[in-house]
Amino acid sequence: MEGEKIITSLLSEKRIFEPPKSVSERAWIKSMDQYKEMWEESIRNPEKFWSRFLDILEWFKKPTKIWDDSKFPPTAQWFVDGKLNASYNALDKHINSGKGDKVAIYWEGDNPTESRAITYTQLLEEVCKFGNVLLKYGLKRGDRVAIWLPMIPELVIAMLACARFGIVHSVVFAGFSAEAVKDRILDSSARMLITSDGTFRAGKKIPLKVKVHDLLEETPTIEHVIVVKRTGIDTPMKVGRDTWWYDELKDQPTECSYEEMNAEDPLFILYTSGTTGKPKGIVHTTAGYLMYAALTHKFVFDIHDDTVFFCSADIGWITGHSYIVYGPLVNGATEVMFEGVPSYPSFERYWEIIEKYKVNVFYTAPTAIRLLMKEGDALPKKHDLSSLRILGSVGEPINPEAWIWYHKVIGNERCPIVDTWWQTETGGILLTPLPGATSLKPGSVTFPFFGVKPEVLRDDGTLAAPNEGGHLVITSAWPGMLRGVWQNPQRFQKTYWAKFPGKYYSGDGAKIDEDGYIWILGRLDDVIKVSGHRIGTMEVESALVSHPAVAEAAVVPMAHKIKGQAIYAYVILNKNFSPSQELINELKQHVRKEIGPIATPEAIEFAPDLPKTRSGKIMRRILKAIVNEVDVGNITTLANPKVVKALWNAHKTAKSSSSH
Ligand code: PRX
């Protein structure tokens, strides 16, 4: 939390930004009065509220029971007796209503010379071809399939082909390591892995399949591996297990059946980091998730039939699941899917894409905004960004400087910014402005979406006063909420429902100001948001300790100008190892291999000792304060208070001799 404080303290923006008339006039939600009336109904009478929106989905059997809260908390069930199919809703529904020739996805490659426009009909044909491959290998409803693919159309095709048959997909971000893929396969007992020979990133070829090849000997449940040829990198293939995507698809028919799924059947698992242990498999269901992803997408981004939507996230994270795959496609929108990075071939890449496809709604992360802001105003000004109507932000708190720049330079002061707060667990956006209705305060996520009742609590569970920071909890049930942690009901209960019994515990700090605006203060637990990516400190610590040189490790967030937060690691070495730059590099490489490049520590400091309580618990709070150069507070509970001074001195010396 100190990290965000340091960043946000640079500017205090007191102005309020009203929704532009041009946006309000056309918007689905046009005014604060309309919002309030709908929100109150959504809390007072969820049944009535949600039944009004059933038609955003097409049902094989329309639900008569909107929700069942008899077991809430923790789990409410939604649209209980409905039957539907997510893939059918994303594809067939639009083709049946005459929109088959509409572009579903403008795919833009890492290299700007590579792009594709894929219509709904074409997407369905590819999904069916791959769906037939899944059937050929005997995959069936309820089985799990792991997908480790970069941002290429085959990723969307694979997900929707799984969803067609009720096969539960578990997508692993392509930037994670092969070890991470292995762990997720083992946890979910996946029968198939879909991956690629490699990926392009900023013009470079990066291998994928070859890295996981040997590890697949340790994943007994994997029967088949299907490999997309993307880069031409040399790739080992195990005979009888591994086949090429293209060979599998080429003779498959472009039609296939689909399953009629129950509302509460799982749609996917997505692993995310938490406070303890290994990442947990968050489970989302078919109807509730789909309804929530589609409705939030429609209202928060004000999607109409002619809207071109561009979400720059990776599908390996929840933002991509909900706002590249399910939300936009269920709404029949046209969207841009981008394989590359904002800095390649130049820092103009996003602006070129917005100009090229006449993007109306652009949804990105504060880290990208800060990165591009640093490059100056001249680059975006070279491009015609006049198609933009709404700008979105997600993944971490947006500091007012970045907000104002986004508003002024990218939005030309006419585009509302929707700063959306949510989590892997929530399925869709929970706290957000509505672009045609909400007056904005830069840095505030403003108000709850329909069905969502937030509270900010003190440690003792009482309500915090206005402007007093506390724990953000949700007290209502909403359709997109997680239904569990894969095969671990105790962890589900303990992580989300135990701290404040009966209330959903988010792990975030927040405050509500005198006007009722909500401000997110950052994570209160041991989760770090590096460039908006969620990493558990314990995961990085375990990776470090698995190296023979390391006896003990403690990882804390450090404020970072572009990334928001970066990883700072304290390491105590085993006997016979001594500090050196080579060892620092080796440890960084080790973490990359164990978790992935995004988890690489920004800095590693060799410490003689760590601050510990008398019971031996490392006090990360103190390390975090030292790293971010703020007051360490009370240290009387420490068993070894002298260490604090030594660490302060070491930090100052390290700082003066390096650039971190
Ligand atoms: O700390 C909050 C931060 O991201 C966390 C959730 O991370 P993840 O599950 O990876 O999902 C990210 C995308 C939805 C939250 O607990 N976060 C997300 N959005 C915001 C945010 N922090 C501040 N402002 C936001 N708009």
pLDDT digits (tens, 9 = 90+) for 137-153: 999 999 999 999 999 99
Q: Are 375 and 146 in contact (CB under 8 A)?
A: no
pLDDT digits (tens, 9 = 90+) for 402-414: 999 999 999 999 9
- Distance between Cα 506 and ligand 1 center (Å): 10
C-beta atoms surrounding 602 within 10 Å: 17
pLDDT digits (tens, 9 = 90+) for 341-373: 999 999 999 999 999 999 999 999 999 999 999
What is the per-residue pLDDT for 11?
Answer: 64
For 473, the 3-state DSSP assignment is strand
Q: How confident is the model at residue 91 (pLDDT cuts 50, 70, 90)?
A: very high
Q: What is the mean pLDDT of residues 541-567?
A: 96
Q: Are 243 and 209 in contact (CB under 8 A)?
A: no
Q: Are 212 and 119 in contact (CB under 8 A)?
A: no
Q: Report whether pLDDT(272) > 50.
A: yes
pLDDT digits (tens, 9 = 90+) for 569-622: 999 999 999 999 999 999 999 999 999 999 999 999 999 999 999 988 899 999
Rounded Cα–Cα distance for residues 389 and 387 (Å): 6
Q: How confident is the model at residue 13 (pLDDT cuts 50, 70, 90)?
A: confident
Q: What is the mean pLDDT of residues 380-390?
A: 98
* Cβ of residue 507 lying under 6 Å from some atom of ligand 1: yes
Q: What is the mean pLDDT of residues 20-32?
A: 97
What is the per-residue pLDDT for 278?
Answer: 85
- Residue nearest atom 13 in ligand 1 by C-alpha distance: 395
- Distance between Cα 230 and ligand 1 center (Å): 31
What is the per-residue pLDDT for 94?
Answer: 98
Q: Are 639 and 613 in contact (CB under 8 A)?
A: yes
238-252, 424-438, 521-535: the lowest-pLDDT one = 521-535
- Distance between Cα 472 and ligand 1 center (Å): 12
Q: Report whether pLDDT(7) > 80.
A: no
C-beta atoms surrounding 548 within 10 Å: 10
- On the 0-12 / 13-18 / 19+ scale of CB atoms within 10 A, 408 is exposed
Q: What average pLDDT is seen over the chain?
A: 95
pLDDT digits (tens, 9 = 90+) for 502-514: 999 999 999 999 9
Q: Report whether pLDDT(1) > 50.
A: no
Alpha carbon 645 to chain centroid, angstroms: 38
Instruction: Look at the alpha carbons of 101, 106, 107, 113 in this order and tell me if their dihedral is positive or negative.
Output: positive
What is the per-residue pLDDT for 2?
Answer: 35
pLDDT digits (tens, 9 = 90+) for 594-604: 999 999 999 99
- Distance between Cα 422 and ligand 1 center (Å): 5
Q: Report whether pLDDT(113) > 50.
A: yes
DSSP letter at 334 equals E
- Distance between Cα 563 and ligand 1 center (Å): 14
Pairing of strands 603-606, 564-573: parallel
Pairing of strands 564-573, 484-485: unpaired
For 555, the 3-state DSSP assignment is strand
The secondary element (H helix, E strand) that includes residue 95 is: helix 92-96
According to the 3-state scheme, what is the secondary structure of 25-76? Answer: HHCCCCCHHHHHHHHHHHHHCHHHHHHCCHHHCCCCECCCCCEECCCCCCCC
Percent of the chain with pLDDT over 70: 98
- Residue nearest atom 15 in ligand 1 by C-alpha distance: 423
What is the per-residue pLDDT for 658?
Answer: 58
Note the helical H segments in 189-260.
209-213, 245-249
C-beta atoms surrounding 102 within 10 Å: 16
- On the 0-12 / 13-18 / 19+ scale of CB atoms within 10 A, 78 is buried
Which residues sit opposite 473 in a β-bridge? 455, 505
Question: Which of 4, 426, 529, 535 has most ligand 1 atoms within 8 Å of its beta carbon, as the pocket-test mutant?
Answer: 529
Least Cα distance to 81 among 99, 100, 63, 68 occurs for: 63
* Cβ of residue 508 lying under 6 Å from some atom of ligand 1: yes
Residue tagged 């390591």 (tokens)? 177
Rounded Cα–Cα distance for residues 594 and 535 (Å): 13
Q: What is the mean pLDDT of residues 110-133?
A: 98
DSSP for 580-605 reads -HHHHHHHHHHHHHHT-GGG--SEEE
Q: How confident is the model at residue 72 (pLDDT cuts 50, 70, 90)?
A: very high
For 261, the 3-state DSSP assignment is strand
Cα-Cα-Cα-Cα dihedral of 493, 292, 116, 343, to 10°?
Answer: -60
Residue 193 has which token pair? 């892995």
What does the buried/exposed string (b/e) look like for 250-272 if buried means 16 or more CB atoms within 10 Å of the residue's CB? eebeeebebbebbbbbbbbbbbb
* Cβ of residue 318 lying under 6 Å from some atom of ligand 1: yes
Q: Report whether pLDDT(8) > 60.
A: no
